[in-house]
Protein backbone atom coordinates (compact mmCIF):
# COMPACT_ATOMS: atom_id res chain seq x y z
CA UNK A 1 0.00 0.00 0.00
CA UNK A 2 2.88 2.39 0.84
CA UNK A 3 4.37 1.80 -2.58
CA UNK A 4 1.07 2.47 -4.34
CA UNK A 5 0.26 5.77 -2.66
CA UNK A 6 2.93 7.96 -4.31
CA UNK A 7 1.93 6.77 -7.75
CA UNK A 8 -1.74 7.22 -6.93
CA UNK A 9 -1.06 10.79 -5.87
CA UNK A 10 0.92 11.46 -9.04
CA UNK A 11 -1.82 9.87 -11.16
CA UNK A 12 -4.49 11.98 -9.47
CA UNK A 13 -2.42 15.13 -9.94
CA UNK A 14 -1.80 14.34 -13.60
CA UNK A 15 -5.46 13.54 -14.19
CA UNK A 16 -6.59 16.75 -12.56
CA UNK A 17 -4.05 18.82 -14.47
CA UNK A 18 -4.90 17.22 -17.80
CA UNK A 19 -8.58 17.59 -17.05
CA UNK A 20 -8.03 21.28 -16.43
CA UNK A 21 -6.14 21.62 -19.70
CA UNK A 22 -8.80 19.67 -21.61
CA UNK A 23 -11.59 21.76 -20.12
CA UNK A 24 -9.82 24.98 -21.05
CA UNK A 25 -8.98 23.58 -24.49
CA UNK A 26 -12.62 22.77 -25.03
CA UNK A 27 -13.41 26.39 -24.22
CA UNK A 28 -10.87 27.41 -26.86
CA UNK A 29 -13.22 25.98 -29.49
CA UNK A 30 -15.48 28.99 -28.95
CA UNK A 31 -14.77 32.10 -30.97
CA UNK A 32 -14.39 34.68 -28.24
CA UNK A 33 -13.33 34.39 -24.60
CA UNK A 34 -12.78 36.47 -21.49
CA UNK A 35 -10.11 36.07 -18.86
CA UNK A 36 -12.72 36.20 -16.08
CA UNK A 37 -16.13 34.62 -15.70
CA UNK A 38 -16.78 35.82 -12.17
CA UNK A 39 -19.90 37.87 -11.60
CA UNK A 40 -20.83 39.70 -8.46
CA UNK A 41 -23.92 41.64 -7.57
CA UNK A 42 -24.63 45.03 -6.14
CA UNK A 43 -21.31 46.72 -6.76
CA UNK A 44 -20.00 50.19 -7.21
CA UNK A 45 -18.59 50.70 -10.68
CA UNK A 46 -15.89 48.10 -11.20
CA UNK A 47 -12.23 48.55 -10.59
CA UNK A 48 -10.33 48.86 -13.86
CA UNK A 49 -9.54 45.76 -15.84
CA UNK A 50 -6.30 43.93 -15.23
CA UNK A 51 -5.01 40.51 -16.26
CA UNK A 52 -5.28 39.44 -12.62
CA UNK A 53 -8.33 38.22 -10.73
CA UNK A 54 -10.86 40.99 -10.05
CA UNK A 55 -12.17 42.19 -6.73
CA UNK A 56 -15.35 44.07 -6.01
CA UNK A 57 -17.07 46.44 -3.66
CA UNK A 58 -20.55 45.33 -2.55
CA UNK A 59 -23.68 47.35 -1.89
CA UNK A 60 -24.15 50.04 -0.69
CA UNK A 61 -21.32 51.03 -3.05
CA UNK A 62 -19.72 53.22 -0.37
CA UNK A 63 -18.02 52.31 2.89
CA UNK A 64 -18.76 53.72 6.33
CA UNK A 65 -16.74 56.84 5.48
CA UNK A 66 -18.91 57.41 2.41
CA UNK A 67 -16.00 56.61 0.10
CA UNK A 68 -15.37 54.00 -2.59
CA UNK A 69 -12.26 51.85 -2.64
CA UNK A 70 -12.00 51.91 -6.42
CA UNK A 71 -13.56 55.16 -7.61
CA UNK A 72 -13.48 58.86 -6.75
CA UNK A 73 -16.32 61.23 -7.49
CA UNK A 74 -16.60 64.99 -7.36
CA UNK A 75 -18.32 68.13 -8.50
CA UNK A 76 -22.10 67.88 -8.21
CA UNK A 77 -22.15 64.06 -8.33
CA UNK A 78 -24.65 62.42 -5.97
CA UNK A 79 -24.53 58.72 -5.05
CA UNK A 80 -27.94 57.16 -4.44
CA UNK A 81 -26.56 53.94 -3.03
CA UNK A 82 -29.51 51.73 -3.94
CA UNK A 83 -30.24 53.11 -7.42
CA UNK A 84 -27.71 55.17 -9.33
CA UNK A 85 -24.84 57.61 -9.39
CA UNK A 86 -26.20 60.95 -10.58
CA UNK A 87 -23.51 62.99 -12.29
CA UNK A 88 -25.82 65.97 -12.62
CA UNK A 89 -29.32 66.64 -11.38
CA UNK A 90 -31.92 68.34 -13.58
CA UNK A 91 -30.69 71.77 -12.54
CA UNK A 92 -28.87 74.52 -14.40
CA UNK A 93 -25.09 74.93 -14.24
CA UNK A 94 -24.22 71.55 -12.75
CA UNK A 95 -21.17 69.36 -13.45
CA UNK A 96 -20.02 66.09 -11.91
CA UNK A 97 -17.54 63.29 -12.51
CA UNK A 98 -16.69 59.73 -11.50
CA UNK A 99 -13.20 58.29 -12.12
CA UNK A 100 -11.37 55.10 -11.28
CA UNK A 101 -8.51 55.31 -8.80
CA UNK A 102 -6.53 52.54 -10.50
CA UNK A 103 -5.68 52.66 -14.21
CA UNK A 104 -6.99 50.21 -16.75
CA UNK A 105 -4.07 48.12 -18.01
CA UNK A 106 -5.72 45.34 -20.03
CA UNK A 107 -4.67 45.11 -23.67
CA UNK A 108 -8.10 44.22 -25.09
CA UNK A 109 -11.34 44.95 -23.29
CA UNK A 110 -15.04 45.60 -23.39
CA UNK A 111 -16.96 48.07 -21.23
CA UNK A 112 -20.73 48.02 -21.04
CA UNK A 113 -22.47 50.82 -19.18
CA UNK A 114 -26.14 51.31 -18.44
CA UNK A 115 -27.04 54.96 -18.09
CA UNK A 116 -30.06 57.20 -18.11
CA UNK A 117 -30.44 60.71 -19.50
CA UNK A 118 -33.80 62.15 -18.55
CA UNK A 119 -35.55 65.31 -17.43
CA UNK A 120 -38.75 67.30 -17.29
CA UNK A 121 -38.50 69.87 -20.04
CA UNK A 122 -38.66 69.82 -23.81
CA UNK A 123 -35.47 71.86 -23.91
CA UNK A 124 -32.51 70.09 -22.34
CA UNK A 125 -28.73 69.76 -22.26
CA UNK A 126 -25.85 69.45 -22.30
CA UNK A 127 -24.82 65.79 -22.14
CA UNK A 128 -22.41 63.29 -20.64
CA UNK A 129 -19.10 61.61 -21.48
CA UNK A 130 -17.24 58.37 -20.98
CA UNK A 131 -13.46 58.64 -20.61
CA UNK A 132 -10.36 56.48 -20.98
CA UNK A 133 -7.60 58.99 -20.38
CA UNK A 134 -4.27 59.54 -18.66
CA UNK A 135 -5.87 62.31 -16.62
CA UNK A 136 -8.39 61.54 -13.89
CA UNK A 137 -10.72 63.30 -11.51
CA UNK A 138 -10.47 66.82 -12.89
CA UNK A 139 -13.53 68.93 -13.47
CA UNK A 140 -13.65 71.08 -16.58
CA UNK A 141 -15.53 72.48 -19.56
CA UNK A 142 -15.86 69.30 -21.66
CA UNK A 143 -19.02 67.61 -20.39
CA UNK A 144 -17.87 68.22 -16.83
CA UNK A 145 -14.27 67.03 -17.27
CA UNK A 146 -10.97 68.61 -18.26
CA UNK A 147 -10.15 69.85 -21.75
CA UNK A 148 -6.97 69.01 -23.71
CA UNK A 149 -7.02 65.46 -22.39
CA UNK A 150 -4.86 62.59 -23.58
CA UNK A 151 -6.80 59.48 -24.49
CA UNK A 152 -10.36 58.66 -25.56
CA UNK A 153 -13.55 60.58 -24.94
CA UNK A 154 -17.02 59.30 -25.94
CA UNK A 155 -19.52 62.19 -25.87
CA UNK A 156 -23.28 61.79 -25.55
CA UNK A 157 -24.22 65.28 -26.68
CA UNK A 158 -27.90 66.16 -26.22
CA UNK A 159 -27.83 69.87 -27.09
CA UNK A 160 -27.10 71.19 -30.57
CA UNK A 161 -25.00 74.36 -30.61
CA UNK A 162 -23.89 74.80 -34.21
CA UNK A 163 -23.80 71.70 -36.34
CA UNK A 164 -26.15 71.87 -39.34
CA UNK A 165 -27.30 68.62 -40.89
CA UNK A 166 -26.68 66.51 -37.77
CA UNK A 167 -29.53 65.01 -35.76
CA UNK A 168 -29.20 65.27 -31.97
CA UNK A 169 -28.68 63.63 -29.54
CA UNK A 170 -25.36 62.78 -31.13
CA UNK A 171 -22.72 60.32 -29.91
CA UNK A 172 -19.13 60.84 -31.02
CA UNK A 173 -15.59 59.75 -30.24
CA UNK A 174 -12.54 61.97 -29.89
CA UNK A 175 -8.90 60.96 -29.47
CA UNK A 176 -7.14 63.65 -27.48
CA UNK A 177 -3.40 64.28 -27.78
CA UNK A 178 -3.11 66.40 -24.64
CA UNK A 179 -2.76 69.61 -26.66
CA UNK A 180 -5.85 69.98 -28.86
CA UNK A 181 -8.94 71.60 -27.27
CA UNK A 182 -12.45 70.30 -27.78
CA UNK A 183 -14.40 72.26 -30.41
CA UNK A 184 -17.28 73.06 -28.09
CA UNK A 185 -18.79 75.84 -30.22
CA UNK A 186 -19.36 73.38 -33.06
CA UNK A 187 -20.22 70.32 -30.99
CA UNK A 188 -16.85 68.68 -31.58
CA UNK A 189 -16.99 68.80 -35.36
CA UNK A 190 -13.26 69.52 -35.68
CA UNK A 191 -12.34 66.67 -33.30
CA UNK A 192 -14.69 63.90 -34.38
CA UNK A 193 -13.10 60.51 -34.94
CA UNK A 194 -16.47 58.84 -35.60
CA UNK A 195 -20.04 59.22 -34.43
CA UNK A 196 -23.76 58.59 -34.93
CA UNK A 197 -27.13 60.15 -34.24
CA UNK A 198 -29.10 58.54 -31.41
CA UNK A 199 -32.55 60.08 -31.37
CA UNK A 200 -34.55 58.36 -28.64
CA UNK A 201 -31.65 57.81 -26.25
CA UNK A 202 -33.03 60.46 -23.89
CA UNK A 203 -36.12 60.01 -21.68
CA UNK A 204 -36.31 56.30 -22.45
CA UNK A 205 -38.54 54.81 -19.76
CA UNK A 206 -39.64 51.48 -21.28
CA UNK A 207 -36.23 49.75 -21.31
CA UNK A 208 -32.61 50.37 -20.28
CA UNK A 209 -30.28 52.52 -22.35
CA UNK A 210 -26.76 51.15 -22.67
CA UNK A 211 -23.47 51.64 -24.46
CA UNK A 212 -20.96 48.90 -25.21
CA UNK A 213 -17.41 49.90 -26.11
CA UNK A 214 -15.03 47.20 -27.41
CA UNK A 215 -11.31 47.69 -28.00
CA UNK A 216 -8.59 45.48 -29.47
CA UNK A 217 -5.22 47.17 -29.04
CA UNK A 218 -4.22 49.14 -32.15
CA UNK A 219 -6.67 47.06 -34.21
CA UNK A 220 -10.23 48.27 -33.67
CA UNK A 221 -12.55 50.37 -31.55
CA UNK A 222 -16.31 49.87 -31.81
CA UNK A 223 -19.35 51.29 -30.05
CA UNK A 224 -22.85 49.83 -29.93
CA UNK A 225 -25.92 51.41 -28.35
CA UNK A 226 -29.06 49.91 -26.89
CA UNK A 227 -31.93 52.38 -26.82
CA UNK A 228 -34.45 51.42 -29.51
CA UNK A 229 -35.56 48.26 -27.72
CA UNK A 230 -34.21 45.96 -25.06
CA UNK A 231 -31.66 43.41 -26.30
CA UNK A 232 -31.31 45.24 -29.63
CA UNK A 233 -27.84 46.68 -30.17
CA UNK A 234 -27.43 49.39 -32.79
CA UNK A 235 -23.90 49.88 -34.20
CA UNK A 236 -22.66 53.44 -33.81
CA UNK A 237 -19.14 53.17 -35.21
CA UNK A 238 -16.32 50.72 -35.87
CA UNK A 239 -12.88 52.27 -36.37
CA UNK A 240 -9.72 50.38 -37.39
CA UNK A 241 -6.16 51.07 -36.21
CA UNK A 242 -7.00 53.03 -33.07
CA UNK A 243 -4.45 53.42 -30.29
CA UNK A 244 -5.59 54.28 -26.78
CA UNK A 245 -3.00 54.91 -24.02
CA UNK A 246 -1.86 51.59 -22.57
CA UNK A 247 -2.48 52.95 -19.07
CA UNK A 248 -5.73 54.92 -18.83
CA UNK A 249 -8.34 55.74 -16.21
CA UNK A 250 -11.99 54.87 -16.75
CA UNK A 251 -14.35 57.72 -15.98
CA UNK A 252 -17.71 59.35 -16.57
CA UNK A 253 -18.79 62.96 -16.39
CA UNK A 254 -21.69 65.25 -17.29
CA UNK A 255 -22.65 68.90 -17.31
CA UNK A 256 -25.64 71.19 -17.68
CA UNK A 257 -25.78 74.84 -18.72
CA UNK A 258 -28.84 77.05 -18.90
CA UNK A 259 -30.67 73.89 -19.96
CA UNK A 260 -30.45 70.75 -17.87
CA UNK A 261 -31.08 67.01 -17.48
CA UNK A 262 -30.46 64.20 -15.05
CA UNK A 263 -27.40 62.18 -16.10
CA UNK A 264 -27.27 58.85 -14.24
CA UNK A 265 -24.85 55.92 -14.27
CA UNK A 266 -26.84 52.79 -13.39
CA UNK A 267 -24.41 49.92 -13.93
CA UNK A 268 -21.04 49.12 -15.43
CA UNK A 269 -19.67 45.78 -16.64
CA UNK A 270 -16.08 45.31 -17.75
CA UNK A 271 -14.55 42.36 -19.58
CA UNK A 272 -10.94 41.57 -20.40
CA UNK A 273 -10.93 40.02 -23.88
CA UNK A 274 -8.28 37.60 -25.06
CA UNK A 275 -7.62 34.92 -27.64
CA UNK A 276 -5.56 31.75 -27.62
CA UNK A 277 -5.38 31.87 -31.41
CA UNK A 278 -3.66 35.23 -31.61
CA UNK A 279 -6.23 36.91 -33.86
CA UNK A 280 -8.67 39.63 -32.95
CA UNK A 281 -12.37 39.70 -33.59
CA UNK A 282 -15.17 41.95 -32.50
CA UNK A 283 -17.24 40.72 -29.61
CA UNK A 284 -20.62 39.29 -30.45
CA UNK A 285 -23.73 41.11 -29.22
CA UNK A 286 -24.98 40.08 -25.81
CA UNK A 287 -28.47 38.90 -25.30
CA UNK A 288 -30.17 41.51 -23.15
CA UNK A 289 -28.57 42.08 -19.79
CA UNK A 290 -29.04 44.69 -17.15
CA UNK A 291 -32.80 44.41 -16.77
CA UNK A 292 -34.68 43.27 -13.70
CA UNK A 293 -32.55 41.25 -11.35
CA UNK A 294 -29.27 42.23 -12.98
CA UNK A 295 -26.18 43.01 -10.94
CA UNK A 296 -25.60 46.67 -10.26
CA UNK A 297 -22.06 47.83 -10.93
CA UNK A 298 -20.62 44.36 -11.51
CA UNK A 299 -16.93 43.84 -12.10
CA UNK A 300 -15.23 41.63 -14.64
CA UNK A 301 -17.55 39.90 -17.03
CA UNK A 302 -19.92 37.01 -17.08
CA UNK A 303 -19.09 34.76 -19.98
CA UNK A 304 -19.05 37.33 -22.76
CA UNK A 305 -17.39 35.92 -25.84
CA UNK A 306 -14.42 37.97 -26.97
CA UNK A 307 -11.17 37.40 -28.77
CA UNK A 308 -7.91 39.23 -29.32
CA UNK A 309 -4.23 38.68 -29.92
CA UNK A 310 -3.20 39.19 -26.29
CA UNK A 311 -4.16 35.90 -24.62
CA UNK A 312 -2.20 33.26 -26.56
CA UNK A 313 0.98 33.64 -24.50
CA UNK A 314 -0.92 33.50 -21.21
CA UNK A 315 -2.53 30.21 -22.20
CA UNK A 316 0.85 28.83 -23.34
CA UNK A 317 2.43 29.64 -19.97
CA UNK A 318 -0.52 28.09 -18.14
CA UNK A 319 0.01 24.82 -20.01
CA UNK A 320 3.76 25.02 -19.39
CA UNK A 321 3.23 25.49 -15.63
CA UNK A 322 0.76 22.60 -15.49
CA UNK A 323 3.22 20.38 -17.34
CA UNK A 324 5.92 21.35 -14.84
CA UNK A 325 3.64 20.46 -11.92
CA UNK A 326 2.97 17.03 -13.41
CA UNK A 327 6.68 16.38 -14.04
CA UNK A 328 7.61 17.48 -10.52
CA UNK A 329 4.94 15.25 -9.04
CA UNK A 330 6.11 12.30 -11.08
CA UNK A 331 9.70 12.83 -9.96
CA UNK A 332 8.64 13.08 -6.30
CA UNK A 333 6.62 9.88 -6.62
CA UNK A 334 9.50 8.02 -8.24
CA UNK A 335 11.89 9.17 -5.50
CA UNK A 336 9.54 7.91 -2.79
CA UNK A 337 9.10 4.62 -4.65
CA UNK A 338 12.85 4.11 -4.92
CA UNK A 339 13.33 4.93 -1.21
CA UNK A 340 10.69 2.40 -0.18
CA UNK A 341 12.24 -0.27 -2.39
CA UNK A 342 15.58 0.20 -0.66
CA UNK A 343 13.92 -0.13 2.75
CA UNK A 344 12.25 -3.39 1.70
CA UNK A 345 15.64 -4.90 0.83
CA UNK A 346 16.73 -4.54 4.42
Give the pLDDT confidence score for residue 301 in this predicted structure. 34
Residue 86 has pLDDT above 80, yes or no: yes
* Closest C-alpha among 68, 73, 40 to residue 54: 40
Give the pLDDT confidence score for residue 342 in this predicted structure. 66
What are the tens digits of pLDDT across the range 174-214? 999 999 999 999 999 999 999 999 999 999 999 999 999 99
Q: Pick the more confident residue, 128 or 288.
A: 128
* Closest C-alpha among 262, 278, 261, 270 to residue 312: 278
Residue 310 has pLDDT above 90, yes or no: no
Q: Is domain 36-303 classified as CATH 3.40.50.970?
A: no
- Per DSSP, the three-state class of 71 is strand
Give helix then strand counts, H and E, for the chain: 2, 15
Give the pLDDT confidence score for residue 61 in this predicted structure. 53
The residues near 253 (Cβ < 8 Å, ≥ 6 apart) are 75, 87, 95, 96, 97, 98, 128, 129, 131, 139, 142, 143, 144, 145
Give the pLDDT confidence score for residue 313 in this predicted structure. 57
Domain ranges of the chain: 1-35+311-346, 36-303
Q: What does R_g of the chain's alpha carbons equal in angstroms?
A: 25
pTM of the model: 0.67
Residue 303 has pLDDT above 90, yes or no: no
Alpha carbon distance 328, 140 (integer Å): 58
- 30-44, 229-243, 277-291, range with greatest mean pLDDT: 229-243
Residue 224 has pLDDT above 90, yes or no: yes
Residue 343 has pLDDT above 80, yes or no: no
Residue 316 has pLDDT above 70, yes or no: no
To the nearest 10 degrees (0 to 180), the angle between helices 4-28 and 312-345 is 170
Amino acid sequence: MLLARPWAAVSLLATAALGWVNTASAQDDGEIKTTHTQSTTGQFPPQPLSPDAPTSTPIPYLDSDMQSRWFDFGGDTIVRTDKYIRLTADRASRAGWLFSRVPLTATNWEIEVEFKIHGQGNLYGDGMAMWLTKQRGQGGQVFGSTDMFEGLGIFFDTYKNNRPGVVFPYVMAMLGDGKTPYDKANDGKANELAGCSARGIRNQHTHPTKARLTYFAEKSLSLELQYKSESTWTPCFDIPSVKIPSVAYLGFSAETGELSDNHDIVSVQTKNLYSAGGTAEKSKPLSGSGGAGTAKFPTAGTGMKGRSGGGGWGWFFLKFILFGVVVAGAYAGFTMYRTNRRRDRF
